[in-house]
């Protein structure tokens, strides 16, 4: 990002995170950990537990959104956490709105939807909570449910998350918006809730050093991924039907074949995506250096948008316009080039990729360059 430079700190990131979490306990009436069972939320949970114990604030409240199509090791790990003394975990199995990038005709799926019970990837866990304290009028994505889960508006609340700046340019930008308390932000859907990112400045190496150094438990699904050859930077425990994790969908067939049999029947297009998700059929591969024969770049982008179902086209078109508007604001309306190699410059080839794949969650930006050292994702 222009005008910003990254600086490495010589301070202990674990101590910095503990200080931020302690600050949350001092400033807010209620502190809640959003616990996915992944490596980042594991670090946040264990650090928050240590701080809460030292400050006399146990039990530590945690919320887990069970997304149904998850590894058996993740389920086992969440179960172990739910049984720990000093942790009060609510285990929600609720039909939230999830992206299904495997299909253009059915771009959403709903874990634990009652109408799909015959297709569920696994039975409901014993501690499952299947309703919300405040039921929304429609099915919503998880980020929009804080107000429905956390309730009491008279109580100042902060949610601790495992968001890290290293993971994406979008997340880096989030923590570069403010000079002070850059790790704190207002929940856009719940005015009485703040979102905290106490480990925003941790690297993947930091995240994996902590459990070894402090003797913490962790999700053994990562061990399976390591044995399968997945790099530490590429390991994820979220359901793989979305736009970002779709590239790794095929690994479920390799590492968890019994789960995979359920997964391909769970959402439309999963079997095809498992085979072709890293091909041009799903917008992956080298980005075009020239527009399709007989078309301008603008025509190609328009044609890609028109391939989407009618009700989805406005979402895709709006996302393309958003990138163009941002480019005009940065450059004063400079012409968009067809293909560029620079990380900070918009191109028509990027816009075509965006139109082909879609970006319903608004998570893709043009500037990623994926390397093992950086640990971010290259969308090309």
Total domains in the chain come to: 2
Same domain, yes or no, for 163 and 296? Answer: no
Same domain, yes or no, for 64 and 144? Answer: yes
- Read off the tokens for 16: 């910095």
Closest CA to 321 of 313, 332, 309, 311: 313
Same domain, yes or no, for 19 and 115? Answer: yes
CATH number at residue 28: 3.40.50.620
Tell me whether residue 189 is in a domain.
Answer: yes
Same domain, yes or no, for 290 and 209? Answer: no
Same domain, yes or no, for 71 and 179? Answer: yes
- Domain residue limits at 174: 13-214
Average pLDDT, whole number, for the chain? 85
User: Model pTM?
Assistant: 0.78
Terminal C-alpha separation, the chain: 19
- pLDDT tens, position by position, 167-214: 544 544 554 555 566 789 999 998 889 999 999 999 999 999 999 999
Same domain, yes or no, for 173 and 26? Answer: yes
Q: Regarding predicted confidence, which is higher, 7 or 56?
A: 56
Tell me whether residue 271 is in a domain.
Answer: no
Q: Quick one: average pLDDT of 298-319? A: 88
Tell me whether residue 56 is in a domain.
Answer: yes
Tell me whether residue 8 is in a domain.
Answer: no
Same domain, yes or no, for 73 and 202? Answer: yes
Tell me whether residue 241 is in a domain.
Answer: no
Is residue 276 very low, low, confident or very high in pLDDT (cuts 50, 70, 90)?
Answer: confident
């Amino acid at each position: 990002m222009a005008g910003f430079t990254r600086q490495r700190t010589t301070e202990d990131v674990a101590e910095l995170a503990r200080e931020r979490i302690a600050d949350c306990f001092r400033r807010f009436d209620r502190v809640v950990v959003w616990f996915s069972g992944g490596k980042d939320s594991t670090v946040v949970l264990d650090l928050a537990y240590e701080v809460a114990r030292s400050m006399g604030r146990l039990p530590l409240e945690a919320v887990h959104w069970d997304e149904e199509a998850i590894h058996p090791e993740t389920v086992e790990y969440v179960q172990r956490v739910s049984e720990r003394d000093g942790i009060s975990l609510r285990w929600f199995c609720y039909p939230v709105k999830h992206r299904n990038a495997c299909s253009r005709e059915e771009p959403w799926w709903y874990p634990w939807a009652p109408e799909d019970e015959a297709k569920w990837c696994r039975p409901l866990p014993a501690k499952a909570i299947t309703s919300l304290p405040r039921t929304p009028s429609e099915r919503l994505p998880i980020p929009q449910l804080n107000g429905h889960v956390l309730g009491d508006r008279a109580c100042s609340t902060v949610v601790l998350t495992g968001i890290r700046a290293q993971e994406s340019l979008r997340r880096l930008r989030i923590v570069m918006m403010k000079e002070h308390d850059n790790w704190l932000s207002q929940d856009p859907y719940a005015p009485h809730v703040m979102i905290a990112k106490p480990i925003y400045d941790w690297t993947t190496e930091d995240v994996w050093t902590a459990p070894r150094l402090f003797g913490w438990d962790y999700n053994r699904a990562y061990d399976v991924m390591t044995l399968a050859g997945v790099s530490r930077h590429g390991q994820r425990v979220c359901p793989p039907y979305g736009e970002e994790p779709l590239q790794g969908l095929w690994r479920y067939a390799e590492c968890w074949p019994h789960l995979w049999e359920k997964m391909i029947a769970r959402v439309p297009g999963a079997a095809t995506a498992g085979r072709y998700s890293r091909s041009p059929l799903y917008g992956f591969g080298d980005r075009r250096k020239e527009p399709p024969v007989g078309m301008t770049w603008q025509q190609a982008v328009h044609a890609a948008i028109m391939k989407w179902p009618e009700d989805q086209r406005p979402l895709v078109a709006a996302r393309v316009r958003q990138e163009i508007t941002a480019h005009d604001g940065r450059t004063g309306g400079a012409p968009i080039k067809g293909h560029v190699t620079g990380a900070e410059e918009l191109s028509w080839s990027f816009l075509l990729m965006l139109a082909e794949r879609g970006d319903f969650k608004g998570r893709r930006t043009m500037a990623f360059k994926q390397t093992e050292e950086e640990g971010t994702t290259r969308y090309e």
